[in-house]
């Protein structure tokens, strides 16, 4: 098939695509050319229902004029400002706005351009804090198996996905909690699983006893592990992690790159689960993915400690595009829309319930061993094919595309994380197309 860009045939020889089977893609490209609301359009004009909000990020749906106007206006007024030694007003306005939205005293915002950069920044802030306190031995981080914190060397070290670790190894002193999702006790659960939360968290005590608290800077977790398969925290898990960290002077970091900005039915999962971390990373929904932006928020005591030890540059870190004016404009416009359309409440309301019921209703499909999720995030897991572990997600992604639906394939699971504007009719369309795709792939 010949694909075109602006009426000229596309060559697939030069763009090396991320996380993609490039050679396979060139044979069978899945291109999107435009988008509005809940749908992408292919160059051939076929409608694709976006059940993934792009990559868990276009939380407002596509083509929001208000964001386009804000970015355009900002571009004309101030296209770029140096991110250090000089400033521009919008970044301060956005920081104040986010600080008011964030739970507890997560009042201090440091801007990045992605979730991966936010992970690096969060770990550096944790190090800077302990160093400022004279606790310079605290460099180890505790993460989790099946965690995903991006692709920079810090994120790869923190991450718990075998494919990442096999390819790029570990470059920071990180150890991993190993319990993740207990299918034997918690399968087919909507919301937080009932069983095992405190036991899972107590595993942290073992790692602390093994390494000694004086060597540990922070524990980092995604409140819901996303790329690892949509793993919800069993009841009590996050609270117990919080208690253990407090007992040992260890910082607790939440990676809310996916869970932030409404996915769990509140602005942040920290609110949904009632646990405030010391540091929080975010990205994606902060601009509804219209302009790249990430951020790290930290509690007052962390900033106070770091600022107290220096009269000059307090934190030797930053990016050329930190708090880019166009990203700030996009974010402020996005936050206005989230507020005005009450989108967090929408995700925790009847449409979110309907999505979860729909996922549970698919348990009669062949090889399904779990359906799980909450609000506007969910997954279905399949028993792997003999001799081909991890193949089902990729096959379903392709077949769903043929059925006009975009989903995410995660090993032998699929994930959905639709824009917060999704209506019930979209869920019906998804269920219908997904059933057909499973029939093609697994019958």
Q: From 8, 30, 141, select the one nearest 401 (Cα to Cα).
A: 30
Q: Is 380 in the site for ligand PMP (CB under 6 A)?
A: no
Binding residue (CB under 6 A) for ligand PMP from 115, 277, 285, 352 = 115
Binding residue (CB under 6 A) for ligand PMP from 255, 278, 370, 399 = 255
- Tell the burial category of 325 from Cβ atoms under 10 Å away from its Cβ (0-12, 13-18, 19+): buried
Q: Which residue is nearest to ligand PMP (CB)?
A: 115
Q: Is 4 helix (H, G, I), strand (E, B) or coil?
A: strand
Q: Is 411 in the site for ligand PMP (CB under 6 A)?
A: no
Binding residue (CB under 6 A) for ligand PMP from 59, 74, 108, 116 = 116
Q: How far is the CB of 225 from ligand PMP (least distance, A)?
A: 8
Q: Which is nearer to ligand PMP, 132 or 334 (CB)?
A: 334
Interatomic CA distance for residues 348 and 355, integer angstroms: 11
Q: Which is nearer to ligand PMP, 149 or 372 (CB)?
A: 149
Cβ contact 44:404 at 8 Å: no
Q: Which is nearer to ligand PMP, 177 or 368 (CB)?
A: 177
Backbone angles phi, psi at 218, to 5 degrees: -160, 160
Apex 63 CA angle, 326 and 110, nearest 5: 30
Q: Is 372 in the site for ligand PMP (CB under 6 A)?
A: no
Interatomic CA distance for residues 269 and 45, integer angstroms: 37
- Tell the burial category of 415 from Cβ atoms under 10 Å away from its Cβ (0-12, 13-18, 19+): buried
- In this structure, the number of other CB atoms found within 10 A of the CB of residue 271 comes to 17
Q: Is 120 in the site for ligand PMP (CB under 6 A)?
A: no
Q: From 186, 278, 196, select the one nearest 230 (Cα to Cα).
A: 186
Q: Is 218 helix (H, G, I), strand (E, B) or coil?
A: strand
Q: Is 277 in the site for ligand PMP (CB under 6 A)?
A: no
Binding residue (CB under 6 A) for ligand PMP from 64, 149, 240, 429 = 149
Binding residue (CB under 6 A) for ligand PMP from 132, 161, 257, 400 = 257
Q: Which is nearer to ligand PMP, 229 or 433 (CB)?
A: 229
Q: Which is nearer to ligand PMP, 95 or 152 (CB)?
A: 152
Site for ligand PMP in 205-224 (CB under 6 A): 222
Binding residue (CB under 6 A) for ligand PMP from 54, 61, 150, 409 = 150
Q: Which is nearer to ligand PMP, 262 or 433 (CB)?
A: 262
Alpha helices for 81-161 (secondary structure H): 89-101, 115-132, 153-158
Interatomic CA distance for residues 259 and 283, integer angstroms: 10
Site for ligand PMP in 168-197 (CB under 6 A): none
Q: Which is nearer to ligand PMP, 255 or 278 (CB)?
A: 255
Q: Is 229 in the site for ligand PMP (CB under 6 A)?
A: no
Q: Which is nearer to ligand PMP, 142 or 258 (CB)?
A: 258
Backbone angles phi, psi at 438, to 5 degrees: -65, -40
Q: Is 228 in the site for ligand PMP (CB under 6 A)?
A: no
Binding site for ligand PMP (CB under 6 A): 114-116, 119, 148-150, 222, 226-227, 255, 257-258, 283
């Amino acid at each position: 098939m010949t694909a075109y860009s602006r009426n000229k045939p596309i060559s697939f020889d030069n763009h090396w695509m991320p996380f993609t089977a490039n050679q396979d893609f060139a044979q069978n490209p899945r291109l999107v050319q435009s988008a509005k609301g809940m749908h992408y359009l292919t160059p051939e004009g076929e409608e694709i229902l976006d059940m993934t909000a792009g990559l868990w990020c276009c939380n407002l749906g596509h083509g929001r004029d208000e964001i386009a106007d804000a970015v355009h206006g900002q571009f004309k007024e101030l296209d770029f400002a140096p991110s250090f030694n000089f400033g521009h007003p919008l970044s301060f306005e956005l920081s104040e706005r986010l600080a008011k939205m964030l739970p507890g005293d997560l009042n201090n915002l440091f801007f990045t351009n992605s979730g991966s950069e936010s992970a690096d920044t969060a770990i550096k802030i944790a190090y800077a804090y302990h160093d400022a306190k004279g606790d310079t031995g605290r460099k180890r981080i505790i993460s989790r198996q099946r965690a995903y914190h991006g692709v920079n060397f810090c994120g790869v070290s923190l991450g718990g996905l075998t494919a990442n670790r096999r390819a790029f190894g570990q470059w920071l002193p990180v150890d991993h909690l190993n319990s993740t999702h207990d299918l034997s006790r918690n399968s087919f659960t909507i919301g937080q699983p009932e069983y095992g939360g405190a036991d899972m968290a107590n595993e942290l005590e073992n790692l602390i006893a093994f390494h000694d608290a004086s060597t540990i800077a922070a524990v980092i977790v995604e409140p819901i592990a996303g790329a690892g398969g949509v793993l919800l925290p069993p009841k009590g898990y996050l609270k117990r992690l919080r208690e253990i960290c407090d007992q040992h002077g260890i910082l607790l970091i939440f990676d809310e790159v996916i869970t932030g900005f409404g996915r769990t039915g509140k602005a942040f999962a920290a609110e949904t689960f009632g646990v405030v971390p010391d540091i929080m990373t975010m990205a994606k929904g902060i601009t509804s993915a219209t302009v790249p932006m990430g951020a790290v928020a930290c509690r007052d005591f962390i900033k106070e400690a770091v600022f107290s030890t220096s009269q000059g540059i307090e934190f030797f870190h930053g990016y050329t595009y930190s708090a880019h004016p166009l990203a700030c404009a996009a974010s402020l416009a996005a936050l206005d829309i989230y507020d005005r359309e009450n989108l967090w409440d929408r995700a925790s309301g009847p449409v979110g319930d309907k999505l979860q019921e729909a996922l549970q209703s698919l348990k009669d499909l062949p090889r399904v061993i779990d359906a799980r999720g909450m609000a506007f995030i969910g997954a279905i897991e399949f028993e792997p094919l003999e001799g081909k572990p991890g193949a089902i997600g990729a096959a379903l992604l392709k077949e769903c595309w043929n059925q006009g639906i975009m989903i995410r394939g995660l090993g032998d699971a699929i994930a959905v994380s639709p824009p917060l504007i999704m209506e019930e009719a979209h869920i019906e369309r998804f269920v219908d197309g997904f059933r057909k795709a499973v029939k093609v792939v697994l019958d």
